Amino acid sequence: MKQNSPITMKNIARDLGVSVATVSRALKDSPRISEEKRKQIQEYAREHNFFPNVIAETLRKSRVQPNKVIGVIVPQFVHYYFSCILTGIEEEASRRGYRIMVAQSDERYEREVKICQSFYANKCCGIIVSMAKNTTKYDHFQKLIDMGIPLVFYDRICTGVNARRVVVDDYRGAFTAVTHLIDTGCRKIGYYGMPGSMEIGKNRYNGYRDALLKNGLQPNPEWMKECDNRADAEVITPGILSQPDHPDAFFAVNDDTAIGILYSAKRMGFNVPDDISICGFTNGQRAVACDPMLTTVEQRGVMVGEEAANILIGQVEGSLPMDKIEKRVVRTRLIIRGTTR
């Protein structure tokens, strides 16, 4: 078994040569199992960091319902996409008889760790989380899994632990967006992407790169920047567009960054989209508030939230096995507006 894989009662039963029912009874200290066998099984479970999910067990078998509260960690409340996901989580949870407890990591690893500890202390039946940008250590997530707490990632997934996850098709969304730019006559396409090594950043860059290569174009390193917010985009873009050989289009990792490019280009006298085409990734409210309105990739955040809540509740209630790792992908779609030809 891989080191990071959560051990299950089935694993314990196999390793000790007993039935799953015997393991279950021993962990509940049932007198139907001999004291010697109970101790052997309990010690083995402790050594391998196995803790039965008592909350889920109670949900399945007791008429007295425990605290049906789901902990949700959001990187930033102000982000339109995360607010859409939160709406989806809350709606699905409410429909299934659960409440949510929400906390913001504010893109800080240390705060994220404390929130996980707080949710566990408050007996949340499971946790839904999108990682902070600077999270590179995952012990706090692994501990929750080891303690039998259902854990589901959305958007910014963690590849360092084995847990269920819900993502949008970032690669296909980026590939489709850049293909649209090429199909409308653009040939020199810049890219503003996320800093760090997050999967969503990698997938969107790969979609951008592959769309260029498929159409016989090469990415230009001079036009690719680590930039994922409007303020930085407004600082970076004038330097790129002031060069004699500059992009005729940009694909940005999110709408805020794309809007920063848009207003920078307009201030410099470029016509959008005739001179410079721009495509974002989110389809938030700001995409229709700018002039011209932004062509962008819609992420369908509400659906992401619904799927995440559905998976977590399935784990809590026992309809989805805890030891089965699953990734659900929500399809994106391109929304064509005024910033592309």
pLDDT in tens, 194-230: 987 788 999 999 999 999 999 999 999 999 999 999 9
Task: Determine, yes or no, domain membership for 341.
Answer: no
Are 151 and 175 members of one domain? Answer: no
Specify the number of domains making up the chain.
3
Q: Quick one: average pLDDT of 37-62?
A: 70
Q: How far apart are CA 307 and CA 92, in angstroms?
A: 8
Please report, for residues 14, 221, 244, 250, 337, the alpha-carbon distance to residue 281 in angstroms, rounded to integers and kept in the order given: 47, 21, 28, 12, 13
Residue-level pLDDT at 330: 97
Task: Determine, yes or no, domain membership for 4.
Answer: no
Residue-level pLDDT at 84: 96
Please spell the DSSP secondary structure of 203-256, one letter per residue. Answer: HHHHHHHHHHHHTT----GGGEEE--SHHHHHHHHHHHHTSSS--SEEEESSHH
Task: Determine, yes or no, domain membership for 339.
Answer: no
223-251 pLDDT, tens digit per residue, is 999 999 999 999 999 999 999 999 999 99
| Band of residue 146 on the pLDDT scale cut at 50, 70, 90 | confident
Q: Quick one: average pLDDT of 5-34?
A: 85
Judge whether 193 and 201 are in contact, CB under 8 Å.
yes
Task: Determine, yes or no, domain membership for 56.
Answer: no
Are 95 and 143 members of one domain? Answer: yes
Are 200 and 246 members of one domain? Answer: yes
Average pLDDT, the chain: 91
Residue 293 sits in a domain whose CATH number is 3.40.50.2300
Task: Determine, yes or no, domain membership for 59.
Answer: no
Are 219 and 249 members of one domain? Answer: yes
Residue-level pLDDT at 56: 52
Are 82 and 195 members of one domain? Answer: no
Q: How far apart are CA 329 and CA 306, in angstroms?
A: 12
Are 74 and 109 members of one domain? Answer: yes
Residue-level pLDDT at 326: 84
Residue-level pLDDT at 7: 72
Please report, for residues 21, 50, 57, the alpha-carbon distance to residue 148 in angstroms, rounded to integers and kept in the order given: 18, 7, 11
Where in the sequence is the domain holding 27, given as residue range(s)?
A: 9-50
Q: How far apart are CA 74 and CA 223, in angstroms?
A: 31
Q: Helical H runs in the chain? A: 9-16, 20-27, 35-47, 54-61, 80-95, 109-121, 139-146, 170-183, 199-214, 230-241, 255-267, 301-317
Whole-prediction pTM = 0.80
Q: How far apart are CA 284 and CA 299, in angstroms?
A: 9
Residue-level pLDDT at 42: 86
Task: Determine, yes or no, domain membership for 119.
Answer: yes
Task: Determine, yes or no, domain membership for 251.
Answer: yes
